[in-house]
Structure 1
């Protein structure tokens, strides 16, 4: 039996080439049982005429389907559904349903608390003035070389790194590059066994919290601080102490006597951008040794501290092994990569490696090898240089616009990075402000998520320039200033 060309229609959903869409339609037809084994496909000429595409496009799609054993070619007779093609399931599938006869409140051993995330629209990219933090700018990313590195990692020579289960081991090329090139920039010297690749900084912090904290232990965190950290600590059920930061970051003299772990963003405080001076760093290390607590140093954005020369990481000054260092490629490459690392003394690194193995073995080998090529071939440094230049232009434009419209920064402005921590006039709720700005195609990030929800002030917000062109910054800030002025008038 011959399948008629008129029975094949392409999905109108955008995505993929015509060749891939033709192939996907045939595969869907086979897997659904619409097309049966042994049936003859329409000729490439007839299908091309029906779909309004070139004949060579159909021929290439058929060739791919033959290679995947969905079709077989029989000389001049044409293409047929393969006798060994997958078959549709022989049972009837029930319509999806969310059965709710189980009392999950009794069965769940633990409930995950709701946390107020950073408020932004789902499709923020469609807004004209997106002052959104931590998202990749496609105009700055080196797509071509990343693709080449990914293809190289897919090659036969790297087949083992792609396909093997390496259990607890990480890609040796990536580890070696981090050890020889990334860490020395922060003044850190580490052996391979002290470095663990993680699924981003969040995963690294989770590993630290799981290994270091219990219900009886106390953790100190910065306020305002990284929202994801609070979510992790809630799962450990540890006691949490919040330390207010100032314009020099976390003050060591505010630390209580009996903490077990301190989580801190020393080089670039999140979200205020404050940089801790050397005197405080030395005091922090002295206290850690004296009181025997562990410091987890989240160095999430050190590559982008371009305004002044970066200070050595806290880990580089640690002679006693009190510091666990967490790094990430999310800001310097792209957040969807989910690739980070931690550096720790051997005993802790071994335990973290074993814990990681119980959850995900290791981050995907292909991703690790692609990143290793991208870094080692010099593309990473070229991208950092390109980002720093672009961010300097954007930062200059934002400073000028902030000053022109007399907006109020709440954090220091001299450290670089990719955002400003801002303060609105007292009485203005930046959550409401953000909602009104959406109607004018402006996206800001309310600051409530960086505080304890019970005591969070409502008048802080964050302005980022990593995802907005320099020429759009001034008009966007003008709209923001106008909306703030209207809010003050309404009061």
Structure 2
């Protein structure tokens, strides 16, 4: 029998930026080589000792990777001869030579509807933002604050036999009952909201919740939005063909009397206006509900950051004062857990939620069961509340450093949340284009968010910018603010 062809150890290289544990990355290296046809059945892999020495890892790490591949029938072991590519390993498809392709479809005519070309918004966030030393960007989690250990345990529990049926069956339009129960009994009452399970829908983050609300309420209709506002909110409305009326906010948020006649839907962020951080006073909330009733309009309340109230108890949600079923409430766990989780919820009258559930089912059926059950376990066991308190302490400390540095360098704050939050809304001197400022600061490893994208209209103020502090350590804040001040000077 001819000796098996060995695979040279030099074939294996670990990408320095690849994600995952060393064991998983080595396992992936071998599996991808087999799936791509580079490693053939019967070929001998380098010994665990040789591969460990070549990759600069421990031998046990390579052994564990090989053992996992052995269990999955990618590899086979032959006594003391070593590890070989299994004869039963998945084989790459034999398609032969692919034909030359020359596209003849005119997509400018073929597309029935376009989603590009709408209002562009540059939030000043490059893909490699984490490599910058002073990332004053909003909405990104600090991994040092997250409870990785307990989240991992909850994910493992969610995969247990007890929960397996709930994870593997197609629930069509249903949600995890444990997650819905926690939201109804614990999360919403903290905002003064009482809702039944039939009035709650789990979504893929607040963005998905807002999209559902727009599709059901705002297509082709007159809507009022805050100005400035969350840029993606305005883009959703543009795509829906809504007649958008921007309503300028002031230091107290949205002025209800400025909402024009004929408005059918009002989109607002009353607890923490995006991006100015203004909080709508109680009197204005009552006036806003009265104005909505007079217009026979509905209100979509985006309460995206209520968990970030570490300075003072937040005001009850606008939904808590709703006695007519006129307010649709949007909440999210993505800001406090991590953005990639994409888990949020809609709360509204049963008739609205019924339609939202049907629309969601036609697009994505339901959010992944494993994510829902893991989050439910994390919430029920108290890990979430502990995490929120830990994040709150960290944000309070960073905010204090931010305010001191901003004050010391004479930078102008245009808005900051009275109850907390994770950003400051800033105003540069007149004549400063903060998009150009942001580009200039990148050379100093500083990231800021230009403010023009938050405003509506062709002529928008260009001297605002946002400084987030959720993803920058306290000890770097002062130097980063000093660099911003120096650039402005």
Aligned equivalent of 2:304: 300
Name whichever of 464-473 and 221-230 sits farther off. 464-473
Aligned equivalent of 1:13: 15
TM-score using structure 1 length: 0.93
Aligned equivalent of 1:477: 481
Aligned equivalent of 1:255: 259
TM-score using structure 2 length: 0.93
1:156-193: CA deviation from partner (whole Å, max 9, x where unpaired): 22212322211101111111111111100000001111
Distance change >3 Å, CA 303–CA 209, structure 1 → 2: same
Distance change >3 Å, CA 6–CA 310, structure 1 → 2: same
1:81-102: CA deviation from partner (whole Å, max 9, x where unpaired): 33332112212354997x5421
1:368 to 363, 372, 378: 372
Distance change >3 Å, CA 390–CA 58, structure 1 → 2: closer
Aligned equivalent of 1:110: 113
SS at match of 1:462: strand
- CA contact under 8 A between 2:9 and 2:54: conserved in structure 1? no
1:231-275: CA deviation from partner (whole Å, max 9, x where unpaired): 100111011111000011000110112111000001110000000
Aligned equivalent of 2:104: 101
- CA contact under 8 A between 1:187 and 1:316: conserved in structure 2? yes
Paired with 2:9 and 2:427, the residues of 1 have a C-alpha distance of: 61
SS at match of 1:311: coil
- CA contact under 8 A between 1:66 and 1:72: conserved in structure 2? yes
Gaps of 5+ in 2: none
Distance change >3 Å, CA 78–CA 351, structure 1 → 2: same
1:136 aligns with 2:136: no
- CA contact under 8 A between 1:11 and 1:21: conserved in structure 2? no
1:207 aligns with 2:209: no
1:314 aligns with 2:318: yes
Paired with 2:335 and 2:324, the residues of 1 have a C-alpha distance of: 30
Distance change >3 Å, CA 160–CA 421, structure 1 → 2: same
Paired with 1:365 and 1:194, the residues of 2 have a C-alpha distance of: 19
- The offset of 1:398, in angstroms, is 1.4
- Equivalent pairs counted in the alignment come to 483
Distance change >3 Å, CA 66–CA 484, structure 1 → 2: same
Distance change >3 Å, CA 5–CA 90, structure 1 → 2: closer
Aligned equivalent of 2:393: 389
Aligned equivalent of 1:414: 418
- The offset of 1:11, in angstroms, is 2.0
Distance change >3 Å, CA 11–CA 161, structure 1 → 2: farther
- The offset of 1:144, in angstroms, is 1.4
Paired with 1:50 and 1:470, the residues of 2 have a C-alpha distance of: 39
SS at match of 1:431: helix
Paired with 1:141 and 1:351, the residues of 2 have a C-alpha distance of: 35
Paired with 1:335 and 1:202, the residues of 2 have a C-alpha distance of: 11
Distance change >3 Å, CA 154–CA 404, structure 1 → 2: same
1:429 aligns with 2:425: no
Aligned equivalent of 1:488: none
Aligned equivalent of 1:122: 127
- CA contact under 8 A between 2:6 and 2:43: conserved in structure 1? no
Paired with 1:126 and 1:7, the residues of 2 have a C-alpha distance of: 32
- The offset of 1:441, in angstroms, is 1.8
- The offset of 1:70, in angstroms, is 1.8
2:200 to 181, 189, 195: 195
- CA contact under 8 A between 1:247 and 1:412: conserved in structure 2? no
Aligned equivalent of 2:40: 36
- The offset of 1:61, in angstroms, is 2.9
Gaps of 5+ in 1: 486-491
- The offset of 1:440, in angstroms, is 1.6
